[in-house]
Amino acid sequence: MDYSIARRRMVAQHVVARGIHDEELIHVMEELPRHLFVEEALQSQAYTDYALPIGEKQTISQPYMVAIMTQSLELKRSDRVLEIGTGSGYQAAVLSRLVTHVYSVERIANLARRARRVLDKIGCSNVHIQVCDGTSGWGEQAPFDAIVVTAGAPDIPQHYLQQLEIGGRLVIPVGGSGAQILKRVTRVSENHFDYEDILECRFVPLIGKHGWSQTS
């Protein structure tokens, strides 16, 4: 299979055709080897526009969802970004090509180790991974210019709002365990936040102290 052709087709049909216009993001998604972030048996499906299992009851998000979440962050090259839920590492890889530093937290150690191997293989040395409860963010590295959450939360954890820089953007799916609304929150001032709804979506649950419980 010619993965480079598959990547360009994926971006044209499932990213650009659906309204993604950030040219740098489009270029990154055309170049990144998404198939390396899924199991070998599923690599032929890596450039289709749906989520794929990556083990541990987790998924790699569909390409369009990665694109719309990333574009909604309105990133600048100098930004420091926090990602909640490393998962396969693909979202972190996309971010790493667009900003200075990516800080990614993952509660499942096996996924974090696998993502680290792939990220190292393709040269994403500016991605820093920590295994911990992602619902608490990464306070030691705060504040962040942008935060992206790749799991559905019952509501917005206050830690994320507190760890945003003034002017920073948070993109997070919020709602029930079956479906959520993707929201963007902008920290306008110390105590003022603007909230926007982007689209309906469906993510695996955000599990942790300030999210869903493991048994819910």
* pLDDT attached to residue 30: 98
Mean pLDDT in residue range 115-120: 98
* pLDDT attached to residue 177: 78
| 87-105 pLDDT per residue, tens | 999 999 999 999 999 999 9
Residues annotated as catalytic are: 61
**Is 206's pLDDT higher than 70?**
yes
For residue 110, the surrounding DSSP H or E stretch is helix 109-121
Q: How far is CA 76 from CA 19, 72, 100, in A?
A: 20, 12, 9
Residue 136 CB neighbours (<10 A):
17
**Is 216's pLDDT higher than 60?**
no
Quick check: 81 and 99 in contact, CB under 8 A?
Answer: yes
| 57-66 pLDDT per residue, tens | 899 999 999 9
For residue 94, the surrounding DSSP H or E stretch is helix 90-96
Domains of the chain: 62-201 (3.40.50.150)
**Is 209's pLDDT higher than 90?**
yes
Mean pLDDT in residue range 26-48: 97
Rounded to 10 deg, the angle between the 63-72 and 23-31 helix axes is: 150
**Is 6's pLDDT higher than 80?**
yes
51: left (phi over 0), alpha (psi -120 to 50) or beta: beta
| 141-153 pLDDT per residue, tens | 999 999 999 999 9
**Is 214's pLDDT higher than 90?**
no
Residue 64 CB neighbours (<10 A):
20
**Is 159's pLDDT higher than 60?**
yes
**Is 72's pLDDT higher than 90?**
yes
Mean pLDDT in residue range 152-174: 97
The C-alpha atoms of residue 210 and residue 158 are separated, in whole angstroms, by 8
Q: How confident is the model at residue 215 (pLDDT cuts 50, 70, 90)?
A: low
Mean pLDDT in residue range 176-190: 94
* pLDDT attached to residue 197: 98
| 7-22 pLDDT per residue, tens | 999 999 999 999 999 9
